[in-house]
Structure 1
Amino acid sequence: MFVTEHAALAAPAHDTAAVVAELRDRTEIVDALYRFALGQDLKDKELFASAFAEDAELDFRPAAAKWGAAPPVMAGRDTIVTTILGLFTGRVDTTHQITNPRVTVDGDTARLTALVEAQHLLTADHSTYALLKNPYDVELVRASGSGDGGGRWLVSRMVIHNTWFLGEPTAIFG
């Protein structure tokens, strides 16, 4: 479920090329989550979509269960982008902060655990809000044919859990 390895890097310290390659992968893996967050915050469809594989899944059910909601799993990049940006654009202002990323890489697949604080405010009335502290469990795949030497990573599955929240999530998420 979450990345709990006791060491950050797998590459031997004396193998500079392997260390550099692993560090590049880890940076690109975390960047996929940054694209997800900033794309939402800016309501930038292209940036937001760039975080996901075409057949990606986003599961918000564990977080939503904390306040009694039961949304479906979103399947497919287009569905994820259309659903989330459709729910927020012109209605909800968001900011996301990402911390504590932990990464494991296994060839062309990877796992990422991160802690994300997500602030959601109704655009028309910022006194109606939901502040969420969410552990993310993310599976990623290396993009093929990305034109950048295979360095770009895409979210294939994202599960969003919730540790705590303040405010009114039902006013934000329905």
Structure 2
Amino acid sequence: MTAPVKLAGSPAEKEAVADAIYRFGLSLDTRDAELFDSCFTDDGGIELLGERATGKQQLRDLCYGRVADLDTTHLISNFRINIEGSKATLTAIAYAQHFGKGKGMVEGSKFLLTGSVYRAELAKDTADDIWRIKDLVIDLHWSDGDFAVMQDK
């Protein structure tokens, strides 16, 4: 996906689009499955570290099921959003800190900190008047720490 130089959409509508990504990060950090499900269209998908999930159950298995039990913080910023009618594209930068469950406040705990670029296609759900993720590619650019933390539940 190539990002356009000039972006379309009002500031208010762009904030509504960004909210889908904010809901995604917050749902993982607060272990909120209902909020997680609200982020995606019924056929929504994620690509992460070469794995692909499509549909609510696969999304829960690949992403929510692996991350929500950990102590995490997802910081997402530097949004660029382009809106064309009821469709939008988005890029953002994300830092994600991961610790084993219950170990986030334990000094010296092993951790995994990642830096990623998020690339998303979104669609407006006119029934609920909210934006949902149709496709999210999480492009990991760097990491620090231990990937074994992801199995430390």
TM-score by length of 2: 0.87
- Relative to structure 1, the CA distance from residue 40 to residue 89 in structure 2 (aligned partners, 3 Å threshold; closer, same or farther) is closer
For 1:3, what is the secondary structure of its paired residue?
A: coil
Corresponding residue for 1:87?
66
- Relative to structure 1, the CA distance from residue 120 to residue 2 in structure 2 (aligned partners, 3 Å threshold; closer, same or farther) is farther
1:25-174 matched pairs, under 5 angstroms: 25-61=13-49, 70=50, 72-90=51-69, 92-126=70-104, 127-146=109-128, 150=129, 152-172=130-150
Deviation at 1:173, TM superposition (A): 5.5
Q: Find the structure with the greater CA-based Rg.
A: 1
CA RMSD of aligned residues (A): 2.0
Q: Which has the higher strand share?
A: 2
The amino acid of 2:44's aligned partner reads: A
Counterpart Cα distance in 2 of 1:4 and 1:96? 26
Contact 1:56 1:155 in 2 (8 A): yes
Please give the per-residue CA displacement for 1:113-171, whole angstroms capped at 9, x wherever unaligned. 0000000101254412110000000000011311xxx3x11000000011211001243
- Relative to structure 1, the CA distance from residue 119 to residue 103 in structure 2 (aligned partners, 3 Å threshold; closer, same or farther) is same
Q: Point out where structure 2 has 5 or more consecutive residues left out of the alignment.
A: none
Corresponding residue for 2:3?
3
TM-score by length of 1: 0.77
Q: Point out where structure 1 has 5 or more consecutive residues left out of the alignment.
A: 12-21, 62-69
Instruction: Kindly report structure 1 stretches of 4+ aligned residues shifted beyond 4 Å.
Output: none
Counterpart Cα distance in 2 of 1:54 and 1:74? 12
Identity in percent: 29
Deviation at 1:108, TM superposition (A): 1.1
Corresponding residue for 1:66?
none
